[in-house]
Amino acid sequence: MRIVIVGGVAAGMSAASRAKRFDPDAEVVVFERGDFISYGACGLPYVLGGAVGEWDDLIARTPAQMRGRGIGVQLGHEVTGVDAEARTVTVLDRAAGRVATEPYDRLLVATGVSAVRPDWAQTDLAGVHVLREIPDGQAIADSLKGAGRVCIVGGGYIGLELAENMCRQGLSVVLLERNPDVGGRVLDPEYRPRLLDELGRHGVDVRCGTTVEGLIGKAGRVTGVQTDGGLVRADVVVVAVGVKPNVDLLRAAGARLGKTGAAAVDVRQQTNVDGVYAAGDNCESLHRVTRRRVHIPLGLTANRMGRIAGINMAGGDAKFPGVVGTSIFKVFGLGVARTGLTQGEAAALGLNAVSVDVTSTDHAGYYADARPIHVRLTGERGTGRLLGGQLVAENPLSVKRVDVIAAHLHSRGKVEDLFQMDLAYAPPFSGVWDVLLVAADRLN
Ligand code: FAD
């Protein structure tokens, strides 16, 4: 049994480890076009900001460690084609310029997503970046040497994390967002102004409702961003306006894509092409609340999918149960989390949704340093089904209680049952009636 894996980060390496553990006799080979495997891309903004010391700190396993476990790892090897009939892939050794044909019995395409690079004038100027992989982060760090002003385009979670981390480096930061506010993919409109307030409080110059028209430069280096609201001067520009799934290989193999543009896979992470699997950011998954196929590219999801694919490719039978759309991030002192559906998303799907908002403190009000926490809980009228929750809090760690809501959504729980839960209580951690219980009681 020869298992070939394309892409060596979260999904690819989870699959490789699992496959080898399931069938130690299987030959497992990973082709990675870059120079790194098995690292936490989620930590990239924090290396730039200094909370993480070195790029290497993000690496969980080195190629040597993987080889020690009997997994073949080929860095700098790009898979450029798939012949699903012959069960071979074409591999380009980038350094040597050599092309080889490699056979497989099972193939996993775990190629992730690419950052969207809009069709603006002069995006090839030095000092213009995206942030997806370690070399992107290293290139940004190089550009920042001697820079005073950074312009971040995009107010999604990566743009917001970057804004915080650039400020921590003492840089002057302008954040441009086309929409009227930031965090639009995460929170309902009523909750988004808190993000703007936090960014403003820390000196980020946020310009919402601003459309980028092009980049301008001098002697091949960026000097500013041309917008519909005028010129924004910048020494470095980071574009964080979204991602698109890397599905070229899957398409070439004859694999079906879903409506989202990501790979359509079954619960075993198998595509419609015999022997070809896909996992991670390039895949759709089942949303357990809506029962629809969604593309929500996140780290745990990629690892979970990779694990399932690895077991199945090695001859096992594992199923990926889906996601509930849980995400969490921090902007300066603010924690932000959501799971399930927002009120806006539920309404757009035609659900008879209702939400309650509760503001309380993250732990007992009489205990030192109690900070405000805001919770919106959304349920379905008539059925009493829990649909989702959003949390924003001034103690970032306190929004991790989103996991309670996520767990309840996974089991398709009702609002009433959430209220009846035996949640942990002591004054340093929560009020005796935790804010989630208060919200569930009001929504019930
Ligand atoms: P990737 O990590 O993208 O890996 C795919 C690999 O495939 C790449 O190394 C690529 O070089 C390789 N590849 C592609 N094509 C080929 C080819 N043809 N041949 C050979 N190799 C190929 N998620 C969270 O859940 N929480 C967070 O806080 C969070 N923060 C993030 C912050 C940043 C800045 C970024 C960029 C991402 C963040 N994510 C976060 C997302 C998370 O990193 C991804 O969900 C995860 O890395 C996806 O893993 P993957 O294996 O599917 O794809």
- What's the pLDDT score for residue 195? 96
Which of 42, 151, 167, 283 is catalytic? The answer is 42
DSSP 8-state class, residue 324: -
What pTM, to 2 d.p., does this model score? 0.97
Q: At what angle do helices 193-201 and 157-168 cross, to 10 degrees?
A: 10
ipTM > 0.95? yes
113 Cα to the center of ligand 1, angstroms: 6
Q: Which residues of the chain have pLDDT under 70?
A: none
Residue whose CA is at the smallest distance from ligand 1 atom 28: 42
- What's the pLDDT score for residue 278? 98
Query: Which of 32, 37, 114, 241 for a ligand 1 pocket mutation test, highest count of atoms within 8 Å of Cβ?
Result: 32
Q: Is 43 in the pocket of ligand 1 (CB under 6 A)?
A: no
270 Cα to the center of ligand 1, angstroms: 20
Beta strands 149-153 and 243-245, pairing class: unpaired
Residue whose CA is at the smallest distance from ligand 1 atom 44: 299
- What's the pLDDT score for residue 187? 96
Q: Is 298 in the pocket of ligand 1 (CB under 6 A)?
A: yes
Q: Is 34 in the pocket of ligand 1 (CB under 6 A)?
A: yes
Q: Determine the Cα–Cα distance for residues 311 and 15; give it in Å rounded to an integer.
A: 7
Beta strands 293-294 and 353-361, pairing class: unpaired
Question: Looking at this protein, which amino acid is placed at residue 203?
Answer: G
Q: Determine the Cα–Cα distance for residues 102 and 265; give it in Å rounded to an integer.
A: 24
357 Cα to the center of ligand 1, angstroms: 34
Which atom belonging to ligand 1 lies closest to the Cα atom of 113? 3
Task: Tell me the HSE value of 109 on the side-chain side, using a 13 A CA sphere.
Answer: 32
- What's the pLDDT score for residue 184? 86
Q: Is 5 in the pocket of ligand 1 (CB under 6 A)?
A: no
Q: Which two tokens stand for residue 65?
A: 């460690």
Q: Is 41 in the pocket of ligand 1 (CB under 6 A)?
A: yes
Which atom belonging to ligand 1 lies closest to the Cα atom of 45? 34
Q: Is 12 in the pocket of ligand 1 (CB under 6 A)?
A: yes
Q: Edge-to-edge strands of the sheet including 128-129? A: 128-129, 236-239, 149-153, 172-177, 205-208
Q: Is 370 in the pocket of ligand 1 (CB under 6 A)?
A: no
Whether 42 sits among the annotated catalytic residues: the reply is yes
Which atom belonging to ligand 1 lies closest to the Cα atom of 14? 51
- What's the pLDDT score for residue 110? 98
- What's the pLDDT score for residue 441? 98
Query: Which of 158, 298, 326 for a ligand 1 pocket mutation test, highest count of atoms within 8 Å of Cβ?
Result: 298
Q: Is 246 in the pocket of ligand 1 (CB under 6 A)?
A: yes
